Structure 1
C-alpha cells in the first residue's frame, strides 16, 4: 500500500474545497459590495425607546451585509439654538451642501427675527428639517403647564407662520426633559428627539476639540448634537471629512405618525 498517496489524497481534496469556498465567498462579498454601492441610503426612523438614535426600517437586512463589508455607517446631523445670523448659518449650509449632507435644525424661536426669518425657507429649500427647540430656551421641566405650553406651542406656531407647517421633531433645551414634557410634545404632534453623540461644542471654545469629540462620540446609527455657532461652523468641514473617511453617510429619519407600524 502506498501510504503517501493514501494520506495526501484527502489533503488535496480538502485544499481544493477550501479554495473553492474562498472563491465563492469572495464572489459573494464582491457582489454585495457592488449591489450596495450607489444606491440611496436605507430608510430610518427615530428610535422610539432611546429617542437618541436611529432604527432601520424596510428592506435593510440584505444591505446590512453590504454595509458591514465596506464599513458603511449612518448618522444624523443636528444643530441646536439657531438661527444665529451674521453669516454663520450660511457658512454651515454651505459646508453641508458641499458634502451633499442634510441636517435637522432645532430653532429657538426668539432667535427668529427680521434678519434671520428668511433662513427657514433656505433650510427647507436645501432639504433640511426644521425642529422646535422652544421659544426662549428655558428649562422646560421646571415650568408650569401654562408656561410650558407657551414655550412649545408658541414656537410651533411661529415656525408654522413662516413655513406653512408645524415642526415634527422637538428637542428640549439642555436635553432636560421629563415624562410630562415628552407627553406634552407628543400631544402637540411632535416626536421628542435627543442624541447619543455630543460634539461638546456648547462649552468647547477650541475648534479642534469640537472635531475630536464629534468623531469620538459618533457611532453607527447615531444622532450627533452640534450647535449653530461660529466655532462649530469653522470646523464643520473637517469634522464631516473625518466622519466620511470612517464610512459615514448623513441621513434624515422619516417623519412617521406615532402609531405607524414599522417592520
Structure 2
C-alpha cells in the first residue's frame, strides 16, 4: 500500500493513462482527485474507481475542471488543499497529438493555428497545475510531481508532428529545470516518455493503420508489442512513490526498448 494517507491530484484521469494510474493509486490507499473536463467520463470513472478502492483506505473524488483555465485550476488546488490539508502527488496527464485533424502533419503542412493548439494543449495544463501546487508542496516540504512527455520529445516518433515533438520536448526540459528549482524544497519532479500506447483515444488511430504499419511499429520495438495504459501507469506510480525518493529531474522512456 504505497499510497496510504497520500493525496493525489491526477489530471485527465477519467480515461487513458491517467485512469490507469488512478486505478493503481486508489487500490493502494490514496485519496485520488480525478480531474477531467468531461462530466460523462467522470460519471463513469469515479464509481468504477471507488469499487477498486473497496473497503481500504483509498478514496476517490471527481472534479470537473478545464486544465487550461488558470482560474479553475487555482480554485481546484485551493479546494483540495483546504479539504485534505495537503497534496502529496500531482500527475500531469493532460496532453496528446489528436487535438488537430492531422496529427502526422509535416512542418510544411502544419497550420500555425494547429501549432499553437498543440503547444498550448500539451504545455499549458502542466504549467498551470504545477504552478498551483508548488506553494502547497513547499509548505509541506514534500511532494511528487510526475509529467507526461513522449518519445516524440526525444525526436523518436515517426508519426508525430513537429509541434507535438516541440511540446513534449518542452515537458522534458520543464521537468529537468523544475527539479533543480524544487529539489531544495523536498519536492521530486520526474516524467515519463511513452511510445505508442493503446488508450481509448489512441486505439482508433492505431486500428486505422495498415497491418504493415502496425507490424513495422511492433518490429522496431525490442519487446515486440505496443504499450497498454497500465505499462505507463506502473512507472508513474513508481515515480510518485517513496521508492523514488532519491530520483528527480529524470524522464524515463517507457517504450519497450525503442
TM-score over 0.5 for the pair: no
The structure number with the bigger radius of gyration is 1
State TM-score, norm by structure 1. Answer: 0.31
State TM-score, norm by structure 2. Answer: 0.32
